[in-house]
Structure 1
Amino acid sequence: MKLSRFARIVCFSIALTAGMLLAACQQHDEAAPWQLTDISGHMPDLSFRLTDDQGKTVTATDYSGKVTLLYFGYTHCPDVCPLTLAHLHVVMQRLGKLADGARILFVSVDPARDTPEALHAYVTAFDPHAIGLTGTPADIEALTKRYRAAFSREPDKSGGSYDVSHSSGIYIFDTSGHARLLATPDDAQDKLVHDLHLLLSPGGAT
């Protein structure tokens, strides 16, 4: 996936959420604790029915009580996915024991190639708090639409390989499954650590 093509898909995703984020910014309280983009009330609660990297059918309720970071990607991604997972791994390390209350949900936008076994090998190579999720093409499309993410398969290369362009938002949900924050791979680790610390601390942030 070339950087220019990735930039286009990111811009497309930003355009889809522009109205929602503008409303959030207009209601921004300077005293608010968040350093990331606050999307409380502007995105739906976490909801899905997919297959995890152990081959088990799971829903959002299986992660109730955990702070979840939802990210759409794929295991053959040449750049942004491994960089993002490495970025989140450092964040989890910096959170220490608090990270046990968080889960990184890596949802494949390439279910044709990303089997549960492939996802398990991929995500666990980055962080033990990461879980790979896959499903039917219809399942994945419905979930990306729910969170206004975007992805598209690029034309096949020689040998039959292909890339998938995709947006790179990291959607953060609280322990009750409510959408709270939106991050990007470009956000500083300090911001993620700060806001996740608030959500993961006893009582969390309201």
Structure 2
Amino acid sequence: MPILKWVRYGAWSAVAIVSFVSAAILLGWWRVEGPGRAATVGQNAPAIGGPFTLVNQAGKTVTDREFRGKPMAVFFGFTNCPEVCPTTLVQMANLTKQIGPSADQLQVLLITVDPERDTPEQLALYLQSFDPRVVGLTGSREQVDAALKAYKGYAKKVPTDNGYTMDHSASVYLMRADGSFRTMIDYHEEDASALAKIRMVLE
């Protein structure tokens, strides 16, 4: 009897999974655009991206609309990040170098998740070590949280012996020139796959 019970449970689980996937496809929550193409968010899924008002590393207040006309690569991080942020910024620099001159069309944005420490001056100093085309953005806690919410991102302050660090989303959001979401580059994604995604958003 226990074996029969598990068989029935497994069968119903399989039916439930198939039903969920079928419903998701029918509702347009996601779609795959063919071999080698990235999955994109369907029209019925919650929108990723949206309006923000922040301050760049030069101390100038900017909004999302000032970046219209260029595809964007948006990343949330912070200057005291020990690994994820510098690794991602170095990878983006290497990828844009491989793409060549057309990479000038891509605007890379680093939005801090630690605005209490990441002043415009601190961002400017930090970004000197990376691709000069990267724009760093900070602001009030409320402004940064609003940007995180718009991009469905995540950030949490984590206490340490010496103060605190930040746990945060590690993916790079690739946005079309009109500001709409296209796809993501995951942390530690292979360069070949990431390059294909960047070229796709530059098309």
Same fold (TM over 0.5): yes
Higher-Rg member (1/2): 2
Q: How many residues align?
A: 177
SS at match of 2:174: strand
2:193 matched to 1:191?
Answer: yes
Which letter does structure 2 place at the counterpart of 1:50?
Answer: L
**In the aligned structure 2, how far is the partner of 1:40 from the partner of 1:50?**
28
CA pair 144-86 structure 1, distance change in 2 beyond 3 A: same
Asked whether 1:69 is paired with 2:69, we answer no
Pick 1 or 2: higher relative contact order, CA cutoff 8 A, min separation 6. Answer: 1
RMSD: 2.1
> Taking structure 1 as reference, are residues 26 and 71 closer, same or farther at Cα in structure 2, changes over 3 Å only?
closer
Q: How high is the TM-score relative to the length of structure 2?
A: 0.79
When normalised by structure 1's length, the TM-score is 0.78
Aligned to 1:114: 118
- Paired with 2:170 and 2:109, the residues of 1 have a C-alpha distance of 13
Distance 1:76 1:95 in 2: 29
Residue deviations 1:7-59 (CA, integer Å, cap 9, x gap): xxxxxxxxxxxx9xx6567532325x63x442364434442110011100101
Structure 1 contact 40–181 (Cα < 8 Å) conserved: no
Higher alpha-carbon deviation: 123-132 or 98-107:
123-132
Are 1:29 and 2:49 matched, yes or no? no
Q: Mean alpha-carbon deviation: is it higher for 70-79 or for 161-170?
A: 161-170
Is 2:153 aligned against 1:149? yes
1:98 corresponds, among 95, 102, 114, to: 102
Shift of 1:142: 1.5
Structure 1 unaligned blocks of 5 or more:
1-18
CA, structure 1 residues 88+124, in 2 after alignment: closer, same or farther (shift >3 Å)? Answer: same
5+ residue gaps, structure 2: 1-20
- Tell me, in whole angstroms, the C-alpha distance in 2 between the residues paired with 1:25 and 1:199: 20
Give the conservation status (yes or no) of the 8 Å contact 1:102–1:129.
no
Any conservation in 1 of the 2:31–2:41 contact (CA below 8 Å)? no
Q: Percent identity?
A: 29
The code of the aligned residue for 1:101 comes to: Q
Determine the C-alpha separation between the residues in 2 that align with 1:115 and 1:177.
Answer: 25
Q: Which residue in the other structure is 1:53 paired with?
A: 57
